[in-house]
Structure 1
């Protein structure tokens, strides 16, 4: 895959022509973006896939259905945009089975958003397939992020002179030649067209050559002058060709008949080198099309669009027809606006949210009735927000606000503005904005207001200590003071009530109040939409209550729902919750595989996701350099965006890391940054930081500071009552005790934690107990617990804690058992993922769908894995697992 980018006329299309001519033995597919088609959803992908429609049946059913729905070939639920991208990848891989495939995408900057996203997605996932994709665009755009780029620049002066002499042999005057070369700045199209437009007198003496200006404008002017010299009938026909992006000659001839210009009118345009017409209509260059279109008067353009709307069959291409009708309408027209709204609905049904927003935005311009215009502006804003085009969403909201808003609509606008602010950066202002929106909605839509209060609390968790305009406490107090909406409580209502009680009244009351909510979110009958929206917050609430079992149930269900819904945008949050659960359980291999999946999705969609999972892993695994680098990245980004939760998480993981390294004063300083915040924080991270604080303070010789932190911690753990919570409390009490009291606390901590799945805590309490026993000169007893801790840490990959246990064992005159590292058999993180999914019974196509790669790439990875593990079959892999191999450490995400 490759992206060629450079200014118009620099030779990108010529390079694609060269590639097509040299691709012997390849099947070549070529598509071109057209500026006027950017609003037609999946128009570009349709160009590419149409020649391969005989292979649709070879795709897995979910991908096939998504692709057919996206292309308008069948009806069905709104397809996930990345499932469409995966289908495109699978289709390209299938088409390359017989011979290699070369896909050339010209003028990619003008492909519709959905098509460009799907094609870039597929290009980034190519690995073992015999497929090459080359894009050509004026500039690199967001959807193309992650593609290798090659900038195409102008010709060197010597080559430019040679081209100019070849194009115009009569040009002999060196002064004139140098001036043309200088003005063209090496642009081949400019060299040829500037020379063609110069008359003999100019070429002979150098007089009258244009002065310096933007090169693109110069070339467009050349095409405009060339068009103006054509007969009026030819100009009108050429304008129709420029206005119709489909490029179908039959449509042009029907339009010519309506315009009463005749087919013969095309001949002068062809002779002038502006256009070529066979079964398709193609302009010499996109600048020629642009010049012809914009050189016409507004009345002429509207007339041509109206005629094109009349000759396009509304049954076969309703969206293109209404697009022309909209551009052919000067004033308000409810009929056209209603058709545009219908096109928006069709686009949304095919997964084209950007196209839906564009159709609705034009409908807003044409809607005469203020109330209906406001309604459509709100719908356009919602579609643009869901598509991620936040500036368009805000512009549509401004239009909605231009007419007077009733109180309910005012609240809805405020809510959408707040949601856009949160989507933009999850920053400090979102909680206050959501809180204000909830207050506006409360008198008019109490259920929506309560959901908005819950969103405000969730946003406040992200903003943490950086929240402005209201945080958790303000949101909880406002929610409590609001009148009850009546009726049966929804899961979201129960969660809001529980969190409100926790935040205002503390952990003792909050633990009781949260019980009904956590039961609701672990109920098998929980509606999937409620789960997708709120399970993350329910899981965080369970973690705050030290309830690992419920937290794990929420995280597991959230991830399952995200997969079943095929909403790729829901994956990062669901995966992040599962990563944290697995880390706390000591399932670091599984957590590493999920971290790789987050990276895979971020790469596949061309976005950056904050690497919190990688930060957790670096701390648990004792990778100080990696953790420090991630901290620098995360903290800088968090401060810029106002996402204070990153500061809390970073402070806790830093304290955890330094405690594992035995650098207790540094651990104490890091934990203090979390526990010493003046803001009221109820998040789980604060409780975990208190645990690190107690251990670091005791080991730093500051027992009074440790006692103060322990009092705050015990308020949380005693209220929870879970074995995890009470074990942590007993462990910390042991650190502050001595003699028989300390030993009793250590034994209680071990007894309780052994009943949980929180393996790192089991190893840590045994490490602390072993350290205490050694200092009590009970060497034999100490060895037992230290050896168990060392083996457990080593098995989990927690190397810094393992080294700490090893030092203590050596101090008891005991050599730790060395675990052989099978470095030759180490797997990459993606290979480990694939092994895990094979063992779950997934097929290669199912694994490919999970990891956003093709089945051929899965097979390629499996062959490498077999070699590393010394096996020869999938059945052996399912029996043997990874044979002790671990994921190889990856570079920093």
Structure 2
């Protein structure tokens, strides 16, 4: 591809504008300025991966500061060469035309009226743009559009600081202070050459307005620039800390780290110092979910205790959540979780009536020190008390508690509100995990299609936001689908990623997924071993749910002692929970271990209760095991009724291994059933397909990154997902995989 052909291209195929807007809305839901959104769509020219990578860099674009998109690319990449070629063409233009391009590069919405007004105050005449248009670098119509995102970047980077300040000053002069005060403040800040307290204060007010309209990234950018323009150290430290908190919430941990260093150097009072320590600990958690975070959060909680009891209790709860994610077994002994729980249990109470944080903290502390039954009444209060919403670790903890209590309705309600609020406000740091948890709900409810869509969304978010990837729902979906190769590979990739970080919960969930998979396949000895491992530690959710898998495997192998021991704990938990899902799970487990006619009533009870729970995946399995029991007891007509329903439900949702068990049982009753041939492998997302096709054709990660305008690190991340979903281990195996051809126009728009 020549530079000339790239710059001249006007007709490459790709996403149409409607689909491009939909993709951008999914990738950056917090981009609230429609004018900026339209300009990004226009300049991406239908290239989905260029659009995604551009959107991932939109920390301050909506405010007028174009991101340094190729800044992390090595200079030898194709994108770097293209940008340098564009820069040479820009430098060849007349000086007034270059000044016009500087204005266009820092004006974010592509409004020709604003641009021409700024040109007028800069004493540029109406013909100034003609050389740039003739060179194919910019188009002027109803919207100002650069020919390629790298043109804008080349203009921005080739301009000197003086030229950029001059451009911002002109744009500030023509921006109405009443109708667009925030953009005017941003341009004034871009033009500022020295600290200015009044301007810093105006930027701080703009940050407040950005938060109110759902722009977390915008708020962070306003506050960062406010801190830079603040002359007095105390105020600068306060604003830098606030900017760091906003950047962390928006999913920009590296920027948050830089701002924390600024705040630390400026000097902070004891309370803000403790908040700084807490934010550093929170960043460690969102980046890794590993063994480092619990101790850091516990230290922050202790620092906050004499200064702000409410914030201290929240931080103790975060430390407990981090300890849960660090898990158990080899990576984090159970004593670590118990130790954090003991410390949290001793945290001083806040005056006034208890709220959600108090019930969550007291309940989880009780669970890990006094046991599950003692914790349930307190935890249930946490789900009942209003005011625990928002986009925080607290709400994420509440959703985990809902899973632990088999409270499906609360689980869905909490996560629906969490995800909606996070999308609307741009609080992206916790969104991938919340979307993964929401996918888990739809999986248990039997809606595998919705679960798969949410898993793809979580993957796209993780590619754009540098946080620890949530591996739970992908493993569980592959397991429920009965895809042995994909489950094994996803578990391998997840553990490889989690082990260095010390995220022990991934190991536990991988074993639980293995138990589900092998129970579906009828490999009961393997399922038994996996379920025993998954329930060997007091891990939230996996222990409760894993006990049910352990009972089924033990019953099939006639390991009655193992099954009875698991049933005793499962019954204790189910009675404490009392939900239809919990009681139905218990009744089904008891039926599996009951020998004789008494099992019949237990199976019927299980079906009634699981029907009330609306957890269709578990209801379908109950129909299956009841049908199997009926057939073994020579009640073929009754068996066919249960097995037909099981086969229909399991087939419709895509639980192929369990559906095949139902089909085989129906065949054994003498009923003919056609075998389904649906491919249940996890499908590749569009960006994964593009990366895989280019890798199959022999491109290196660096070359793919240059072609698709993404970093080599992002390419590697996509390839790991591709290998896991296709159950392969090398690029060579991509040649035999069923992939679409690499699009001829990828990255060439």
Q: In structure 2, what is the Cα distance between the partners aligned to 1:713 and 1:255?
A: 75
Map of 1:81 onto structure 2 = 30
Q: 1:251 to 1:593 in 2, by over 3 A?
A: closer
Give the one of 505, 509, 518 matched to 2:370: 505
Name the CA shift for 1:344/1:238 in 2 (closer, same or farther; >3 Å): same
Which residue in the other structure is 2:350 paired with? 485
Partner of 1:754: 608
- Give the one of 382, 387, 393 matched to 1:517: 382
Residue 643 (str. 1) matches residue 503 (str. 2): yes
CA RMSD across the alignment: 5.5
Using CA pairs below 8 Å that are at least 6 residues apart, which structure has the higher relative contact order? 2
- 1:249 Cα offset (Å): 6.2
Whether 1:697 and 2:697 are equivalent positions in the alignment is no
CA displacement at 1:413 relative to structure 2? 0.9
Aligned counterpart, 2:690:
none
Match of 2:520 in 1: 660
Matches within 5 A, 1:162-173: none
**Which of 309, 315, 321 lines up with 1:452 in the alignment?**
315
| 1:138 positional shift | 7.7
Partner of 1:11: 4
Aligned to 1:126: none
Rg comparison, structure with higher value: 1
Equivalent residue pairs, number: 637
Deviations 1:160-210 (A, max 9, x none): xxxxxxxxxxxxxxxxxxxxxxxxxxx8987xxxxxxxxxxxxxxxxxxxx
Task: Give the direction of change, closer, same or farther, for the CA distance of 1:420–1:732 in structure 2 (3 Å limit).
Answer: same
Structure 1 counterpart SS, 2:268: coil
Is the Cα contact below 8 Å between 1:654 and 1:667 reproduced in 2?
yes
In the other structure, the counterpart of 1:160 is: none
Are the structure 2 counterparts of residues 579 and 324 from structure 1 closer, same or farther at C-alpha, using a change threshold of 3 Å? Answer: closer
Shift of 1:766: 6.0
CA distance, structure 2, for counterparts of residue 328 and residue 810 of structure 1 = 78
Assess, with a 3 A threshold, how the Cα gap between structure 1 residues 790 and 141 changes in structure 2: closer, same or farther.
Answer: farther
Name the residue aligned to 1:397.
260
Of residues 673, 677, 682, the one that matches 2:533 is 673
Does residue 1:461 correspond to 2:324, yes or no? yes
* Partners of 1:773 and 1:779 within 8 A in 2: yes
SS of residue matched to 2:609: coil
Task: Tell me if the contact between 1:243 and 1:293 (Cα under 8 Å) persists in the aligned partners.
Answer: no
Q: Deviations over 1:504-549 (max 9, x none)?
A: 11022122333322333xxxxx34735986555334324323x4xx
**SS of 1:482's equivalent?**
coil
Q: 1:551 aligns with which of 408, 429, 433?
A: 408
**Deviation string, structure 1 residues 783-830 (Cα, Å, up to 9, x no partner):** 63465145324323244234334545655xx2135379799xxxx999
Counterpart position of 2:634:
779
Matches within 5 A, 1:46-195: 80-81=29-30, 113-114=57-58, 139=70
Whole-Å separation in 2 of the counterparts to 1:494 and 1:139: 48
Give the equivalent residue in structure 2 for 1:411.
Answer: 274
| Offset from partner CA, 1:292-331 (integer Å, 9 cap, x none) | 854xxx8x77995897589556637756665565466555
* Alpha-carbon distance in 2 for matches of 1:307, 1:83: 24
In 2, Cα distance between equivalents of 1:770 and 1:692? 18
Q: Aligned equivalents of 2:157 and 2:33: distance in 1?
A: 35
How far apart are residue 594 of structure 1 and its match?
Answer: 4.0
**Contact 1:731-1:745 at 8 Å conserved across structures:** no
- Report if the CA contact (8 A) 1:433-1:469 is conserved: no
Equivalence map 1:689-768=2 (5 Å): 689-700=546-557, 702-722=559-579, 724-729=581-586, 731-733=588-590, 738=595, 740=596, 743-745=597-599, 747-757=601-611, 758=615, 760-761=617-618, 764=621, 768=625
Is the 1:791–1:802 contact (alpha carbons within 8 Å) kept by the matching residues of 2? no
Contact 1:11 1:189 in 2 (8 A): no
Classify 1:527/1:90 alpha carbon distance in 2 versus 1 (closer, same or farther; 3 Å). Answer: farther
SS in 2 for 1:779: coil
Shift of 1:726: 4.7
Map 1:197-596 onto structure 2 (within 5 A): 245-246=106-107, 248=115, 251=118, 254-255=121-122, 293-294=159-160, 315=177, 322=185, 326=189, 331-345=194-208, 347-348=210-211, 351-465=214-328, 466-467=331-332, 471-520=336-385, 526-527=386-387, 529=389, 534=394, 536-545=396-405, 547=406, 550-556=407-413, 558-559=415-416, 562-563=419-420, 567=424, 569=428, 576-584=436-444, 587-588=445-446, 590-596=447-453
Asked if the contact 1:723/1:753 (under 8 Å) is kept, the reply is no
- The TM-score with structure 1 as length reference comes to 0.58
- Return the match for 1:816 from 654, 665, 671: 671
Aligned residue in 2 for 1:836: none
* Separation in structure 1 between the aligned mates of residue 592 and residue 154 of structure 2, nearest angstrom: 79
Q: Is the 8 A contact 1:495 1:538 kept in 2?
A: yes
Distance 2:402 2:523 in 1: 31
* Equivalent residues of 2:208, 2:219 under 8 A apart: yes
CA 1:404–1:746 in structure 2 vs 1: closer, same or farther (change >3 Å)?
farther
Q: Which SS does the other structure have where 1:792 is aligned?
A: helix
User: Which runs of no fewer than 5 residues in structure 2 stay unpaired?
Assistant: 108-113, 686-737, 740-749
Where do 5+ consecutive residues of structure 1 fail to align? 30-48, 50-58, 68-78, 94-100, 119-135, 143-149, 155-186, 191-214, 257-261, 521-525, 831-889
Give the conservation status (yes or no) of the 8 Å contact 2:640–2:666: yes
**Alpha-carbon distance, 1:674 to partner:** 1.3
| 8 A contact 1:659–1:696 mirrored in 2 | yes
Give the drift of 1:484: 0.9
Please give the secondary structure, in 1, of the residue aligned with 2:551.
helix
Q: Compared with structure 1, are the counterparts of its residues 377 and 469 closer, same or farther at alpha carbon in structure 2 (3 Å cutoff)?
A: farther
Tell me how far 1:364 sits from its aligned partner. 1.9
For 2:158 and 2:518, the matched residues in 1 are separated by 68
Name the TM-score, length of structure 2 as normaliser: 0.68
Is contact 1:356–1:383 with CA below 8 Å preserved after alignment? yes
Which residue does the alignment assign to 1:792?
Answer: 646
1:159 corresponds in structure 2 to: none
Distance of 1:674 and 1:111 partners within structure 2:
39
Q: What is the CA distance between 1:469 and its match in structure 2? A: 12
Change (3 A) 1:790 1:439: farther
CA distance in 2, matches of 1:324, 1:669: 63
Shift of 1:628: 3.0
Compared CA separation, residues 622 and 317, structure 1 to 2 (3 A): closer
